[in-house]
């Protein structure tokens, strides 16, 4: 078991492309540490607006307010308390993060996970995911001058294809412990 040292706060930012396990790992890590999970994404925004995810992605191509709403809201929430922030841009946007984690998986692995999560046709998922990656990268560069393919600065990079979510959380916690951000009890 791990805990945040008394009197300290901890913010862990976790990023990765769609299907990398970002939500699963962020949720498990937040639960393990007993802190808030902040994972406000286009998917939640779509639900709030009564739209589908593809509709939000399409609308965001021509309306920057979708990205700005999601990105601003999650950073504001993350600054309030100890938390795990899981989002595509978390490691870039939450400059105050104590630990920045980037999750990696191949395009095929990601598509397979999305298929398992949402169902559908694998080839269509591959096409949609490729389009979404391309659109995300274009928007992030336009809005924030962020190249989301340049994550070399992340404190820890984890290949999610060769580790299950529990192992990934252990790798993150081990790094956090090494840095004095958490302690075993």
> d(Cα 173, Cα 184) in Å, to the nearest integer?
10
Query: How confident is the model at residue 139, as a pLDDT?
Result: 87
> d(Cα 65, Cα 104) in Å, to the nearest integer?
28
Query: How confident is the model at residue 63, as a pLDDT?
Result: 94
Query: How confident is the model at residue 168, as a pLDDT?
Result: 98
Query: How confident is the model at residue 44, as a pLDDT?
Result: 87
Rounded to two decimals, the pTM is 0.89
92's tokens: 């870039």
Coil, strand or helix at 92 = helix
Strand order across the beta sheet in which 36-38 lies: 36-38, 83-86, 11-15, 99-104, 156-159
> d(Cα 4, Cα 9) in Å, to the nearest integer?
7
> d(Cα 131, Cα 141) in Å, to the nearest integer?
16
Give the tens place of pLDDT for each residue, 139-149: 899 999 999 99
Query: How confident is the model at residue 43, as a pLDDT?
Result: 86
Query: How confident is the model at residue 71, as a pLDDT?
Result: 92
**Look-up: residue for tokens 């998917």?**
43
Give the tens place of pLDDT for each residue, 12-71: 999 999 899 999 999 999 999 999 999 888 888 999 999 999 999 899 889 999 999 999
**Strands 183-184 and 83-86: what pairing?**
unpaired
Nearest to 11 by CA among 71, 62, 83: 83
Identify whether the C-beta of residue 2 lies closer than 8 Å to the C-beta of residue 182: yes
Give the tens place of pLDDT for each residue, 84-108: 999 999 999 999 999 999 999 999 9
């Amino acid at each position: 078991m791990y805990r945040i040292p008394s009197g300290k706060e901890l913010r862990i930012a976790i990023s990765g492309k769609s299907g990398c396990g970002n939500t699963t790992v962020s949720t498990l890590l937040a639960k393990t540490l007993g802190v808030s999970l902040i994972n406000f994404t286009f998917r939640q925004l779509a639900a709030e607006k009564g739209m589908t995810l593809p509709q939000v992605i399409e609308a965001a191509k021509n309306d920057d307010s979708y990205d700005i709403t999601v990105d601003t809201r999650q950073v504001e929430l993350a600054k309030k308390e100890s938390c795990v922030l899981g989002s595509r841009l978390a490691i870039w946007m939450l400059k105050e993060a104590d630990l920045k984690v980037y999750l990696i998986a191949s395009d095929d692995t990601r598509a397979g996970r999305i298929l398992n999560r949402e169902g559908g046709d694998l080839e269509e998922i591959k096409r949609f995911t490729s389009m979404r990656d391309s659109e995300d990268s274009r928007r992030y560069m336009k809005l924030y001058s962020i190249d989301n393919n340049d994550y070399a600065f992340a404190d820890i990079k984890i290949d999610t294809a060769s580790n299950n979510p529990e192992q990934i959380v252990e790798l993150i916690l081990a790094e956090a412990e090494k840095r004095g951000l958490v302690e075993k009890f």
